[in-house]
Amino acid sequence: MRLSMSEPATRVRPLALALAALFAGHAQAADDLMTVTPTVTVIGQTPLPGLELPVEQIAAPVQSATAKDIDDSQALDISSFLNRRLNGVHVNETQGNPYQADVSYRGYTASPLLGTAQGLSVYFDGVRVNQPFGDVVSWDLIPKSAIASINLMPGSNPLFGLNTLGGALAIQTKEGRTHAGTSIQATAGSYGRRSVEFEHGGFNDKGLEWFVTANHFEENGWRTNSPSSIRQVFGKLGWQDARSDLDLTVAYADNRMNGNGLQESRMLAHDYSSVYTQPDITRNRSLFLNLTGKHSLSDDALVSGNVYYRKITGSTYNGDINEEALSQSLYQPSAGERAALAAAGYTGVPASGANASNTPFPYWRCLANALLADEPNEKCSGLINRTRTDQENFGMSGQLSITGQLDGRKNLFIAGAGYDQSNLHFQQSGQYGYINPDRSVTPVDAWADGTQNAGAGESALDSRVNINGRTRTYSVFATDTLSLNNHWHATVSGRYNRTVLKNRDNLNPGGGDDSLDGNHTFSRFNPALGLTFTPSRNWNAYAGYSEGSRTPTSIELGCANPENPCKLPNAMAGDPPLKQVVTKTWDLGLRGQLNPVTHWSLGVFRATNNDDILFVADNQLGYGYFKNFGETRRQGVEAGANTAFGPLSLSLAYTYLDATYRSAETVGGTGNSTNDAGPGMEGTIDIHKGDRIPLIPRHMVKASASYRITNALSVGTDLVGVSGSFARGNENNQHQPDGTYYVGSGRSGGYAVFNLNTRYQVDRRLQVFGQINNLFDRQYTTGAQLGSTAFNADGSALVARPFGAVNGEFPQVGSTFYAPGAPRTVWVGVRYSL
């Protein structure tokens, strides 16, 4: 449904009358029952600073938190805080690193993993930090110690631009005037975790203010070979007078993270800290500059804007299984291979008799085929995948906010425009190698570049990608909130985006099926309507409708040709155009307060994706491509409450989330027992209307409590409870393990995790604190995926050809791979403040 700016009045009026009839009769009774001094919270309607609205006039259940809330939770980073304290949020720890979580809200994701369908936008001081290539969000580049406040805006709010399908996270950073003082903090704890954090802020009577923070975090990690190093620096220099405020922000990060990813179900049961293959290293370096300003033209008019520049360099080095080798004989070298090995100086090569039982991790045939430049793509069990991404993005935006009277009624009008440009260079390569007993990969001198002999009738893997891309986005937006009377407030919003994307293939220039060259233009106007009704100081009601869109990413455009399908989403080839994904969201609910410290909320929502993008299967088994298809839908109920009884504070939140496919489609079925090619084969599965979307739980519960024992000592606890969800690869929800060809349930189980923290203020300057995560040391998983496994049950041997041939093909053992949650971790810290 599209709404023009001329339609809101006709749509708002019936809704207003219906709500008035329902609530007006109760308004006076509620006022008579209890007199409450309302808690006034104001929220910005756009990413830029401007005139704000009381939350009671916003037609959506906005969630907010301050630096104190984040600090009190003792969460490691912003993604951990969102998971533990905000309703409707959960994480999938697919990457296996605490700074690389997939954060999902209402079933929409902001992930650092390239190729993931991104549905949340994230803003840092008014700058959208979803990266140009793939719209990914690198949580490790956002310094927690710099955050002053966050607002999680639900729904497809068009004012927050592209990628705002399920919501937008707006982060505001600290300033010297509001966060004056100096502190240094040190922590140490389980698995070699240690960190040092510094903050300093101040201001003078000449209008200058300054704030700087730095964080250095190290840990060995609880899983095998999973160390991480996080280094973040943030600084802000500002000046303000009675009417103007100017701030220059500089942020830098240099991080190295091991994210060892999913583990196969049997190997996880054998050793909870084990990894499937290694290493899996990600490095991110980022420089961020942002100049923001606002100026009061009068008491009723404010102009604000920003100019920013961001440079990000990211690289990955991943040791993986070469799945093409699992159907081969990998053990006994042939006479020609033995001769090549001997000529190269190798000794101890078996003359005969090497087999799966006495050669658990074969490597001689891999070495020989690399020397012969023959078939390392089939005889090497491992593959080193490398990527490097260089991105620059810069832009500017500005807006005018005016408050006043419209036909004698209070009115707030905001209008603005923005321009964003990004330039990127992405490279990908693969190098063959062999798997070692510790499941690391030793590379050999052979590359996945299409030059190796793959055998008669086969084609060699060519994983190379080398592209330059440029994206330009122009946008204009406006919103108007009119107070119809003291109780009714109506909002009309809209944003027009136009994006021009150009890809240039450095390996296959000139267009054609094998080329990534492409010029794409996407444009759309997205509207929003909202209505709030506040008959009493104790409660109010809201109803809202919004539309948002995202353009296809370079990853999706680079693998969208059904005539030239891809083996994996990041092995790109050819790019016919895709349509934008458009999400339409309804929000309705009630919220209020029983007294100044007791607040409650209850709401329902429905979000429908049109022209959603899905990686679907092709007739070439194991291959596929991205395409637009039908609809997906996410709908549910959200409820929450918080209160205090003297020194005791309590909060409780619950989300019911129903996420389903609303259209039929065929997708890859590797590892799924119902695939159409037979047990252990790489067939396809059919999605039907009503099947649940993987990795999205139906039920989420968040609870927290804190108790101040004395003025100096406090303790707190929180609970994160999440129901089970289907594994990726089980989109038809029909997978059933048989214990032979398939192991693992095809879904991740529900879990409940408790965390405990305490603080003791020794004196005015010195504070000590402690944290225990996963208090009861529960083993749990946050996500799952189906796939073929290369190892035996305990990971002590690589198994090629586990079954006999079927029509010339060799079935594989399909398993469920899980994202394990961290075991009990304990750390303590000390903070000294001046």
| pLDDT for the residue numbered 551 | 86
Give the Cα separation of 817 and 233 in Å (integer).
36
Strands (E), 448-534: 465-483, 488-505, 518-533
* Residue 470 binned pLDDT confidence (cut-offs 50, 70, 90): very high
Task: Check pLDDT > 80 for residue 40.
Answer: no
User: Residue 191 corresponds to which tokens in the numbers above?
Assistant: 């698995």
| Chain centroid, CA 41 distance in Å | 28
Q: Which tens digit of pLDDT belongs to each residue from 622-657?
A: 456 677 888 999 999 999 999 999 999 999 999 999
pLDDT (average), residues 218-243: 96
Q: Point out which residues pair with 93 in neighbouring strands.
A: none
β-strand 120-124 against 167-173: which pairing, if any?
Answer: parallel
pLDDT (average), residues 825-832: 97
Q: Which tens digit of pLDDT belongs to each residue from 12-34?
A: 333 333 333 333 333 333 333 33
Strands (E), 484-621: 488-505, 518-533, 539-550, 581-595, 598-617
Task: Evaluate whether 800 touches 326 at the Cβ level (below 8 Å).
Answer: yes
Give the Cα separation of 556 and 88 in Å (integer).
27
pLDDT (average), residues 238-261: 95
β-strand 699-708 against 648-661: which pairing, if any?
Answer: antiparallel
Q: Higher-confidence residue: 442 or 43?
A: 442
Q: What is the pTM of this model?
A: 0.92
Asked, as a colleague might, if the bond just before 360 is cis with ω within 30 of 0, I would say no
* Residue 516 binned pLDDT confidence (cut-offs 50, 70, 90): confident
Give the Cα separation of 383 and 437 in Å (integer).
15
Task: Evaluate whether 684 touches 665 at the Cβ level (below 8 Å).
Answer: no
Residues 6+ apart with CB under 8 A from 544: 59, 60, 155, 491, 528, 529, 530, 531, 585, 586, 587, 588
Give the Cα separation of 364 and 351 in Å (integer).
11
574: left (phi over 0), alpha (psi -120 to 50) or beta: left
* Residue 577 binned pLDDT confidence (cut-offs 50, 70, 90): low
Q: Which tens digit of pLDDT belongs to each residue from 404-446?
A: 999 899 999 999 999 999 999 999 999 999 999 999 999 999 9
The DSSP output letter for 553 is P
Q: Which tens digit of pLDDT belongs to each residue from 322-378?
A: 988 999 999 999 999 999 999 999 999 999 999 999 999 999 999 999 999 999 999
Task: Check pLDDT > 50 for residue 2.
Answer: no
Give the Cα separation of 84 and 91 in Å (integer).
10
Question: Taking the CB of residue 831, how many other CB atoms lie within 10 A of it?
Answer: 19
Give the Cα separation of 38 and 31 in Å (integer).
12
Q: Point out which residues pair with 508 in neighbouring strands.
A: none
The DSSP output letter for 566 is B
Task: Evaluate whether 724 touches 746 at the Cβ level (below 8 Å).
Answer: no
Containing 820, the helix (H) or strand (E) segment is: strand 814-820
Three-state DSSP state, 32: helix
Q: Point out which residues pair with 423 in neighbouring strands.
A: 392, 470
Task: Evaluate whether 756 touches 706 at the Cβ level (below 8 Å).
Answer: no
- Which of 701, 692, 722, 693 has the alpha carbon at shortest distance from 782? 722
Query: Mean pLDDT score of the chain, rounded to an integer?
Result: 90
Q: Which of 12-21, 206-215, 786-795, 809-818 has the lowest mean pLDDT?
A: 12-21
Residues 6+ apart with CB under 8 A from 686: 664, 665, 666, 732
| pLDDT for the residue numbered 35 | 41
Task: Check pLDDT > 60 for residue 501.
Answer: yes
Residues 6+ apart with CB under 8 A from 32: none
| pLDDT for the residue numbered 72 | 93
Taken as a whole, the chain contains a residue count of 834
Alpha helices in 319-453 (DSSP H): 335-343, 364-372, 376-379
* Residue 131 binned pLDDT confidence (cut-offs 50, 70, 90): very high
